[in-house]
Each structure stands twice: as structure tokens, then as C-alpha cells.
């Protein structure tokens, strides 16, 4: 394991609030996800979309703000010298055969460190599921390390992305496949209205949903969103929706909204298993 990663975040506060603690944790969230974020915060997303983050609706950024945390600082979280055994035990005892990296921060800000943590967790015999928007491109040497662990990379895309973002992220989906990783297109989907803007974004969404393997991840957003007010995006209340807002932009009634243990997608790990056959 490469121990040379730097942790260049000595300050505990910025003008916008405190920053995340630079120490790894393993926690199961309300949706039933085992979150082992190697990085908390998202400098890339908050720089591209100041204020509320991607699509103006980043749930992680909203949560951070509620707790007085500056989400624009990406903090790498080191393996603790004391307490590491508790993390290994929590991941080992988690009910699914995978854990997630990239719940409240993008691991692309520190790819080498992300590989270090996943290698350390390999004793749990769980599959790392890494969710990223590729603000920084994964080096081929890191892809090789993660491929050796059987990692599954979910590239987060959306019809709401810019053309440049779509081109970059789709390019990474195919690049990582070529480097031996199980590479999944994870689409943040919407039910679009009948405006000119919406029709263009719907066409992009349909293209992204055609890239297999794919995960359909409906957008949860506020009733006060300007896109909702304009009719660009349509939302409904779904009380069965687990975790986060109950207001969801659901383009298809067949999209799963429950907890992780009953989800057929399993964050793309099922695609990895199919790949072996």
C-alpha cells in the first residue's frame, strides 16, 4: 500500500464553516448504504456549481450546510491508527457484499488514497463500489489497483450535465472498461416537462440510459427549484422514497425508491457478477 498520500488540510475551519474530520469512518445511512468515504466534500462540484452544488440540488452539500460544514473543501480521510479494527468489523458485518465510496464527497480528488483505503479494506472480502463524477481523471495505475480488487465504478451522469461534462464522463465510462474495471453508467434522471430546454435534456438522458450497464437514480429536489417552477422538471411526492427528500422527479414508475437491501441494482455489483459468467 502506498503510504505517501498527503493530507493537506491542516485547518479545521474556513470562512464558510468547519471542514470534515480527516479520519476515516464506516457508517450505514438511512437508505442502508455502508458509507466508507475516502474523501468528504467536493471541491470540483462546488467550484463548477457554487452555492448548492450540482444541479443546484446536491443533497450532500445541503446536509453539510445544515451542519455548518464547508462542502467545497475535499478532505481525504486517513485510516485511523486507533479504531481501524472497528471500521473493518463494521464493513465485514454489513449485510451486503459491497460497500460504497462516494456518498458525501467525490473520491476523484484523491484517487491514490482511495485505492489505498480499498486495498486496506480488502480483508473484509467486500466489493468496493466507487461513485464519481471524475472531476479528476483516474490514473491508469490506480485503475489497475482497483481492478485487482474487483471494484465497481459508478460514473455519475445526468441529462442535466453540460455537453462537455457528458463527453468527459461517458469517455471515462468506456476508458475504465478498457482498463479492466466494471464500469457502470449511473444516471441521475428526471421527469422532464414539455419546454424546449426539457426536450433537449430528455434526449441526452435517453442516450445515457442506453449505456449498459446502467443504474437509474431519480433526482430528489425542492419544490422551490426554479426548474420546477418553470415546468422544465416535474416532481411528485413519493412517501415510499427511502432517505432524503420525498419529492422526486420520477420519469418511470418502475424505478426503485426503497432501501438498498431490496434494490435489484446493488450499485452495479450484479453487473460485475454477470461479467464473470
Say how far apart CA 87 and CA 190 lie, in whole Å.
36
Instruction: Answer whether residue 132 shows pLDDT above 50.
Output: yes
pTM of the model: 0.91
Say how far apart CA 135 and CA 61 lie, in whole Å.
16
Q: How many CB atoms lie within 10 A of CB 132?
A: 26
Q: Whole-number mean pLDDT of the chain?
A: 91
The 10s digit of each residue's pLDDT in 58-107 is: 989 999 999 999 999 999 999 998 889 999 999 999 999 999 999 999 99
Instruction: Answer whether residue 10 shows pLDDT above 80.
Output: no
- What pLDDT score does 31 carry? 83
**Structural fold of domain 19-276:** TIM Barrel (3.20.20)
Instruction: Answer whether residue 244 shows pLDDT above 60.
Output: yes
CA-based torsion, 139, 140, 141, 145: positive or negative:
positive
Say how far apart CA 144 and CA 32 lie, in whole Å.
29
Please spell the DSSP secondary structure of 92-157, one letter per residue. Answer: HHSSSSEEEE-SSB-GGGGHHHHHHHHHHGGGGTPEEEEEE--SSPPPHHHHHHHHHTT-EEEEEE
Per-range mean pLDDT, top range of 52-66, 122-136, 231-245: 122-136
- What pLDDT score does 2 carry? 40
Share of the chain above pLDDT 70, in %: 92
Task: Report domain extents, the chain.
Answer: 19-276
- What pLDDT score does 8 carry? 54
Instruction: Answer whether residue 272 shows pLDDT above 90.
Output: no
Instruction: Answer whether residue 277 shows pLDDT above 50.
Output: no
- What pLDDT score does 242 carry? 62
Longest dimension (CA), the chain: 56
Instruction: Answer whether residue 206 shows pLDDT above 50.
Output: yes
Q: How many CB atoms lie within 10 A of CB 221?
A: 21
- What pLDDT score does 243 carry? 65
The 10s digit of each residue's pLDDT in 157-169 is: 999 999 999 999 9
Q: Which of 91, 144, 152, 95 is nearest to 122 (CA)?
A: 91
Phi, psi (degrees; rounded to nearest 5) at 165? -65, -45
Amino acid at each position: 500500500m502506498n503510504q505517501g498520500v498527503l493530507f493537506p488540510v491542516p485547518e479545521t475551519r474556513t470562512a464558510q464553516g468547519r471542514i470534515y474530520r480527516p479520519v476515516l469512518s464506516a457508517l450505514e445511512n438511512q437508505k442502508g448504504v455502508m458509507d466508507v468515504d475516502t474523501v468528504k466534500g467536493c471541491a470540483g462540484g462546488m467550484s463548477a456549481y457554487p452555492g448548492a452544488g450540482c444541479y443546484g440540488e446536491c443533497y450532500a452539500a445541503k446536509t453539510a450546510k445544515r451542519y455548518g460544514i464547508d462542502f467545497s473543501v475535499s478532505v481525504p480521510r486517513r485510516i485511523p491508527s486507533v479504531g481501524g479494527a472497528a471500521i473493518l468489523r463494521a464493513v465485514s458485518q454489513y449485510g451486503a457484499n459491497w460497500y460504497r465510496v462516494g456518498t458525501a464527497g467525490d473520491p476523484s480528488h484523491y484517487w491514490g488514497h482511495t485505492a489505498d483505503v480499498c486495498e486496506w479494506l480488502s480483508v473484509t472480502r467486500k466489493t468496493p463500489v466507487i461513485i464519481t463524477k471524475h472531476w479528476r481523471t483516474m490514473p491508469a495505475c490506480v485503475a489497475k489497483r482497483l481492478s485487482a480488487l474487483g471494484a465497481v465504478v459508478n460514473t455519475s451522469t445526468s441529462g442535466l450535465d453540460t455537453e462537455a461534462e457528458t463527453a468527459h464522463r461517458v469517455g471515462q465510462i468506456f476508458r475504465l472498461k478498457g482498463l479492466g474495471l466494471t464500469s457502470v453508467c449511473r444516471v441521475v434522471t428526471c421527469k422532464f416537462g414539455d419546454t424546449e430546454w426539457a426536450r433537449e435534456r430528455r434526449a441526452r438522458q435517453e442516450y445515457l440510459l442506453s449505456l449498459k450497464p446502467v443504474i437509474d437514480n431519480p433526482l430528489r429536489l425542492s419544490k422551490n427549484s426554479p426548474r420546477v417552477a418553470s415546468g422544465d422538471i416535474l416532481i411528485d411526492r413519493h412517501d415510499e422514497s427511502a432517505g432524503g427528500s420525498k419529492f422526486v422527479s420520477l420519469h418511470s414508475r418502475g424505478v426503485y425508491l426503497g432501501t438498498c437491501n431490496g434494490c435489484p441494482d446493488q450499485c452495479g455489483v450484479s453487473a460485475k457478477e454477470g461479467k464473470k459468467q
